[in-house]
Structure 1
Amino acid sequence: MPYLTLLRRPFVVRLLAGSLVGRMPSAMAALAIALTLREAGAGYRLVGLATGVFAVAGAIGGPLLGRLVDRTGQPRVLIASAVVSGLGYVLLALAPGSLYGSLGGAVVAGAAAPPLEPCLRALWPELVPEGEVQSAYAVDAGAQEVVFIAGPLAVAGAAALGPAPLALWLAAGLGLLGSLVMATARPSRDWRTRTRDAHWLGPLRSPALLLLLVALFGAGWALGGFNVFSVAYAEQHEVPGGAGLLMPLSAFGALLGAVGYGALRWTADAPLKAVALCAGMAGAYWLVALVPGPAGACLVAVGTGVFFAPLLTVSFGLVGELAPDGTVTEAFAWLVTLIGAGVAAGSAVTGLLLADGTLPAAAALGACGVTGGALVLALSRGRLALPVAVRETTDTA
C-alpha cells in the first residue's frame, strides 16, 4: 500500500498532523466569528463584513508570509504568525460587541494565519523519495478535506459546551499547537531555499505559473458558486440535512478522489493530467446545472469533489516545478490565495444571480468558471510541459 509506506517515513505523520491541527482555525473561523458576533447582538451586516475581512486579510497575508519563509526559514515565521493570529482570535472573543474590536481581530487573525499549507508542500520533496511525492500531495489534498469537515464540527462542539467565543479560543490554541508541532520538527528547522529571490514579483514573474493560478481561480469560482447554490437548492427541494448535507458530500467526494488518485499509476504528463481533471470537474458542474432531484443532487455533489482533489494534487507538483528558485513557499501560498479568491468571487456573483435568477442559471455560472479554467490549461499545456531550463529561458527573453 503506497500510503502505508508513505506514512512510515520519518517525520511524515508528525508534520502532517501538525499541519492539519494548525489549519483547523481556517476551517472554523467563518462559523465561529458568525456565532460569536450574533451572540453579542451584532447584525448580519457586521457578521458578513467581519467574515469577509478575515478572508481578504488571509488572501493578502498568505503570500507575504510565504515570501518571509523563503527568505528566513520556516520555524520563526510559523511560530510568530501563530501567536499574532491567535491574538486576533482572542480580540474577537473578548470584544465581539465592538465594531473596531471585531474587525481588527478579524484582520489580525486572517492576515497572520500561519502558512502551514505552503510550508508542508515545500517539505514533501525533502521528506519522501521522488516516486512518492505525488502520493504525498494526494494525502495532503485529501487531509485538507478532513479539516473542512472537522472544523465546523469543532465549532459546533465548542458552542454546545459553552458560550460561542469558546470556539475562537479553541481556534487560537489549535493554530499555535499545530505550528509548534511543525516548526520544532527537524525537517522544518533544516529547510532552506537554494537561492534567495530578490525580484519584487517573486513567483508571479513566471507566466506559466500565472496561467496555472488563473485556471485554479476558475476551479475555486465553481466551488464558491456550489456553496451558495446548495443553500438555495435546499430551500426549494427536500434534502435531508439541506445544504449541510450537500457541501460535506462534495468534500467527501474530494477525499475519495484524493485516495483514488494517490493509488493510481497514471503515466501521462502533469499538464495533460491537469487538463483532463479540470475538464472532468467541469463536466460534474454542468451536471449540477441540470438541477436533478434530491437523490441525483447528492450523487452529483460527490462528483463535484472527485476531480477537485486530484486536480489539486497535480497542481501542487506543477507549482513546485514552475516556481522560480527561492520562491516555492510563496508560490504555494499564491495557489491557496487564488483558489480562495475564486471561492469568494464565485459565492458573491452566484448570490447576486440567485436574487433575480434561477437555480439552473446560478449552477451554470459555476460551471462556466471551471470550464474556463480547463480551457486555460488546455491552451497553455505546451508551455506548462516545457523543460524547466527551456521555460526559464523563454520567460526571461
Structure 2
Amino acid sequence: MSLTTPAAPRITYGAVLGSPYVARLLGATLVGRLPNGMAPVAILWWAVAADGSLAFAGLLSAVYGLAASLAQPVKGRLMDRHGQPAVHLPAALANSTLLAALPLTGSYGGPTAATAVVVAASLTTPALETGLRALWPSVLPDPGLRHAALALDTGSQGLLYIVGPPLAAALTTTHSPALALTATAALGLLGAVVVASAPPTRRWRPATAAGPAAETARRLANPGLVLLFVALTGIGFAIGAMNVWALAMAERHQQGMLSGTLPAAFSAGSFLSGLVYGRRTWPGTTTIRLTAVTAGFLAGWLPLLALPGPYAATAAVVLPGAFLTVVIACAFGATDTLTPAGRTSEAYAWLLLSIGTGASAGTALAGRLAEQPFAGASLPAAGAAFALAVLLTARRLALPVDRPRRGRHRRPAWGRHRAQ
C-alpha cells in the first residue's frame, strides 16, 4: 500500500475565498505584513541617507530581520497559551510607534539610538503569519480547501515584496525615508487590528494533548524538525542576500528603483507559482517535493553568476521566486507533520525564525560584500546550496516521525515510503 498522496481534482480559489472570514483574514494579514516588505528597504534607504554607509545600512536592516525572527517563538508560545488578540494588538501598537519614531534618532541619538530603536521595533513585529497558519484548520475544516488556502497564503506573500519594496522605494525617492517608515507603521497597525478583531481569531484556541501525548507535547524538537529548520536558514540566507544585491545593483547602474523592482520580480514568480500549486494536491511525499523544489530554487540563482544587466537580472530572479512558494508550503507541511498537538503556533514561529535568521545573515554578509559584484551575486546560490545539502542529508538519515497526530494519517517527514 502506497502512502503517497494521490493526485486530486483542481480546486477553485472562488470556493476558498468565498468561505466565511477567509478573504478578511488573508487580506488583513497581507496588509499587516506589508511592512515586512517595506521596512527593510525603508530602513536601508534611511540609514544610507543618515549615515552614508551601505555596510551600516545593511547591518541595520539585518538586525531588524534577525530580532523580529528571534521573537517569533516567544509570540507563538504566548498565542498558544493566551490566544492571538492578546499578543497581536500590543505588539502592533509598539512596532508602529517605534518605526514612526526611527527618523528622530538621526537628530538626537545617532547610530546607537537608531540600532536600539530598530531592535525594539523588530522584537515587537506582530506574528500575523504564524497566527494565520494556526487559524486555517478551524476556518477551513475541508482538507482540499485548506490546501488551496495554504498555497494561496504562501504565494500571496509574494505580494508583500511586489508591492512593499517598490512602495517604500517610491515614497523614499519622491518624498523621504521618514514618510516611507510612517506609511510602513500605519499599514502594519491597520492590518493587525483587523485580524485581531475577526471572530475566528478571537475564538481560536490551540488543540491540547491528553494522556501519554501530553508528555510528548512538552518536547517540540526532534531530529527531523531540527534539520528542516537548519535547511530553511539557507533559504532565508538567499532571500536576505538578494535584497542587498538588488540595492547594490541599483547603485552600480544608477537606477534607484532596481532596489524595489528586483525583489518585486522575484516575488511575482513566487505569487504566480503559488496560484498554480494551490489548484490541486500533488502526488508524492512532502519530502520528495521539498527536496526537488529546493534543487530548482538553487538552479534558479545560477544565472546571476554571469553578472547580468538590469533587465536580464530582473527576468532571471523570477525563476527562483517561482520555486520559493512551493519550498515554503512543503516546509510548513513537514513542520505540521512533526509538531505535537498544542504547539503548532510555536513550531510555525520556529520555522519563520529559521528563515528570518538566515535572511539576516545573508543581508549582513551581502552588505559587507556589496562592493564585490561576483561575490554579491553568488551569495543567494550559496544559501540555496546549503539548504539542499541539509535536506539530502536528512533524507539519507531517513529520520522517522514517531507521533502521528490523532485523526489524521501521518507520514514520515523524511525518507521515502515503500509500497507494501
TM-score between both structures, scaled by the size of structure 2: 0.81
In 2: Cα distance, 1:164 partner to 1:226 partner: 21
Deviation at 1:184, TM superposition (A): 1.1
Deviation at 1:202, TM superposition (A): 6.8
In 1: Cα distance, 2:257 partner to 2:171 partner: 21
* Segment of structure 1 superposing worse, 120-129 or 54-63: 54-63
TM-score between both structures, scaled by the size of structure 1: 0.86
Q: Which residue of 2 aligns with 1:378?
A: 392
Q: Are residues 1:207 and 2:223 paired? A: yes
Give the letter aligned to residue 275 of structure 1: T
Q: Is the 8 A contact 1:203 1:323 kept in 2?
A: no
Q: Which residue of 2 aligns with 1:148?
A: 161
Q: Which residue of 1 aligns with 2:124?
A: 112
Q: Are residues 1:132 and 2:145 paired? A: yes
In 2: Cα distance, 1:15 partner to 1:216 partner: 26
Identity rate, percent: 35
Shift in CA distance, 106/193, structure 1 to aligned 2, threshold 3 Å? same
Q: Is the 8 A contact 2:67 2:122 kept in 1?
A: yes
Deviation at 1:50, TM superposition (A): 3.7
Deviation by residue 1:296-329 (Cα, 9 ceiling, x = unmatched): 5443211111111111111122222222222211
In 2: Cα distance, 1:38 partner to 1:91 partner: 17
Q: Which residue of 2 aligns with 1:395?
A: none
Shift in CA distance, 147/372, structure 1 to aligned 2, threshold 3 Å? same
**More helix, by proportion:** 1
Q: Is the 8 A contact 1:134 1:314 kept in 2?
A: no
Deviation at 1:373, TM superposition (A): 1.5
In 1: Cα distance, 2:168 partner to 2:258 partner: 19
SS in 2 for 1:289: helix
Shift in CA distance, 210/292, structure 1 to aligned 2, threshold 3 Å? same
In 1: Cα distance, 2:371 partner to 2:174 partner: 37
Q: Which residue of 2 aligns with 1:327?
A: 343
Shift in CA distance, 22/244, structure 1 to aligned 2, threshold 3 Å? closer
Task: Name which of 63, 66, 72 aligns with 2:82.
Answer: 72
Q: Are residues 1:189 and 2:202 paired? A: yes
SS in 2 for 1:318: helix
Please, what is the CA RMSD of the aligned residues? 3.3
Q: Which residue of 1 aligns with 2:23?
A: 13
Q: Are residues 1:299 and 2:315 paired? A: yes
SS in 1 for 2:106: coil
Structure 1, unaligned stretches of length 5 or more?
393-397
SS in 2 for 1:307: helix
In 1: Cα distance, 2:155 partner to 2:194 partner: 20
Deviation by residue 1:205-256 (Cα, 9 ceiling, x = unmatched): 2222111111111122222333344455667779996454433221111112
Shift in CA distance, 118/370, structure 1 to aligned 2, threshold 3 Å? same
Deviation at 1:167, TM superposition (A): 2.8
Deviation by residue 1:108-146 (Cα, 9 ceiling, x = unmatched): 211011100100011112222112222111111122111
Q: Is the 8 A contact 2:165 2:264 kept in 1?
A: no
Deviation at 1:155, TM superposition (A): 2.8
Give the letter aligned to residue 82 of structure 1: A
SS in 1 for 2:399: helix
How many residue pairs were aligned?
Answer: 390
Q: Which residue of 2 aligns with 1:308?
A: 324
In 1: Cα distance, 2:357 partner to 2:74 partner: 16
In 1: Cα distance, 2:193 partner to 2:243 partner: 33
Q: Which residue of 2 aligns with 1:87?
A: 97
* Segment of structure 1 superposing worse, 111-120 or 310-319: 310-319
Q: Which residue of 1 aligns with 2:383?
A: 369
Q: Is the 8 A contact 1:134 1:313 kept in 2?
A: no
In 1: Cα distance, 2:116 partner to 2:253 partner: 39
Q: Is the 8 A contact 1:204 1:210 kept in 2?
A: no
In 1: Cα distance, 2:378 partner to 2:176 partner: 40
Deviation at 1:204, TM superposition (A): 5.0
SS in 2 for 1:205: coil
In 1: Cα distance, 2:350 partner to 2:31 partner: 21
In 2: Cα distance, 1:246 partner to 1:105 partner: 28
Structure 2, unaligned stretches of length 5 or more?
1-10, 413-420
Deviation at 1:387, TM superposition (A): 6.3
Deviation at 1:36, TM superposition (A): 4.3
In 2: Cα distance, 1:125 partner to 1:266 partner: 20
In 2: Cα distance, 1:352 partner to 1:33 partner: 17
Q: Which residue of 1 aligns with 2:238?
A: 222
Task: Name which of 290, 295, 304 aligns with 1:274.
Answer: 290
In 1: Cα distance, 2:313 partner to 2:104 partner: 41
Deviation at 1:367, TM superposition (A): 2.1
In 2: Cα distance, 1:351 partner to 1:313 partner: 29
Give the letter aligned to residue 280 of structure 1: G
